[in-house]
Chains A and B, each alone.
Chain A
């Protein structure tokens, strides 16, 4: 039996049910083997056959036409004897003991359809039996006893109340095991899985160890150790990023303040422009690194509110560039995502639109169902030289005019990938670029 891909719980339940049934069956067989058959089982079977073979003639005397089975019994048990009596007469087979023959002419049947021994006691471990089959026929027999195997075979052939009950008990036991054992085994596993699911993207949360069953403890411990390593790596990454941010930005700031001392206005403007573009690249690289390296916590958020906040954040940039920034979208649009990540992505899109599509004088941020947000500009467009893929590669740029860093769209692509969103870049009807993110709702 292979456990690969199969439920442990089902296997265990089947195994357990099988074992219990086998055990009970063996116990039953053992019981029979130990006590054997004193004759009651065999004689009950033979009496049944005699009953089928016997009827009464017109005068009321018994008459017999042995069935095949009765004949078989007669061959099987050479010492078999029986005597069938009615008030009118009797017939016999084999060596009927003298004790029975002595009562031959006395009509004295048992009062019920039950088997009694020759002494009139309820049949139990006797060597002969008296069976009242109907009020008029008395069967007395003896000299037959099954071996252990034959008893079992007989019981299987003709189920009696004992074997029926035994079968019922086995069925109930197997059903109970199959239903109960998986629940017992599966419940703690499910609980552990639910706890693991709870952990999600949060740091520092671990699976509880004490409440785990001992079998699951090594797994939970290993899981927690893996989380420790991930958290340590994330923390290290975060430390690295903030160090990098500090190490890159401090000299940039220093440089910017020194540029204030440049006398020549033209050179100063040029240098400040270069520095701003460099600072923009640093910011975007850090954003991209952060998005790719850190787990993003997803919650139910309103895309419309997130997009409108991003638009509001970029209003100063738009005003500085002489661009009308407009937001469209009235109804809340609920998606699963990270406000921060989507905000960063949209800010980059809006800044991109202002920078590269500014010629149109306006930029529109539009939210619609289902889970769709577009940033639309009415500028020159990307041109036919670039298909969607090329623009999304880091450092790819629409125009080689030195403005912009070319990182913005790869940040947006990263945000889209984090959310399982699709990113499409189309031409705005009438000229310009429309970038659309469609989030799964």
Chain B
């Protein structure tokens, strides 16, 4: 795992590098867009954590270049600008996530991991929460590397939840994932499937938990 921190603040830059290095592995620090471009030419990175306001311009201008790289690095933008328009601009440009300053160190690491997980999901098709692993391409689930056999609808539910692990999945997204256009949706059917899926996960010693949020949706989270 190789990380690039693009941050011009003399205090924050080294701190970011050290914190990320400790949590995720080797990190490099650059302070300008130019240096970032140079660094990207030298070697590939898995994750780029960058400030938006840099001495030589807005970091958004670099995102397009980064997205064309192969393998594509995950991009986490740090911004002091929390105007919804600014956030939308960063995400539209292709950033995977943004984090508003000031942030809790724990939050930074969690977001970095989430972004990496999503990118891994896109590129390798694997999403994991605690000891639960889901292979998107093969559509198979493992608990502690033990294959989990699931009925069709429960598998579809698990896939929808694992694709957005750590995020709230709205109930209607689950319904869309499980039922086709022609299926008659019974209002409680989803709950029945979910409760069976939950039971099955528990029986197999899974430490990931499906947290229900009444009226909102569900959250796949580490129960530890």
Contacts and interface: CB of A to CB of B under 8 A. Distances in A.
A interacts with B: yes
Interface of A: 238, 241-242, 245-246, 248-250, 252-258, 260, 272, 275-276, 279, 283, 286, 290, 308, 311-312, 315, 319, 324-329, 340, 343-344, 365
A258 B11 contact: yes
Given A249-B100, A257-B12, 6 more contacts: A246-B53, A312-B216, A319-B219, A319-B221, A327-B216, A328-B215
Nearest to B88: A340
A195 B187 CA distance: 48
Contact of A242 (B81, B170, B219): B81
Interface string B48-89: 000001000000000000000000000000001111101000
B11 A283 contact: no
Contacts of B81: 242, 245-246
A260 B109 CA distance: 14
Nearest to B8: A250
Interface in B154-210: 168, 170
Contact of B168 (A255, A258, A260, A312): A312
Given A249-B101, A253-B103, A315 B86 contact: no
Contacts of B219: 315, 319
Contact of A279 (B9, B102, B214): B102
Nearest to A340: B84
Nearest to A259: B105
A311 B217 CA distance: 10
A309 to B, nearest CB: 8
Given A258-B11, A311-B216, A312-B217, A242 B83 contact: yes
Given A315-B168, A324-B214, A249 B15 contact: no
A276 B214 CA distance: 29
Interface in B1-60: 9, 11-12, 15-16, 19, 53
A427 B79 CA distance: 38
Contact of B101 (A250, A312, A340, A344): A250
Q: Is the interface of B mostly helix, strand, loop or mixed?
A: mixed
Contact of A326 (B19, B168, B215): B215
Contacts of A343: 84
A242 B11 CA distance: 21
A253 B101 CA distance: 6
26 contacts: A241-B83, A242-B86, A245-B81, A246-B53, A248-B80, A249-B102, A253-B12, A254-B9, A254-B12, A257-B12, A258-B11, A260-B19, A260-B105, A283-B100, A308-B170, A308-B215, A311-B215, A312-B170, A315-B168, A315-B219, A319-B221, A326-B215, A326-B216, A327-B216, A328-B215, A344-B84
Nearest to A279: B102
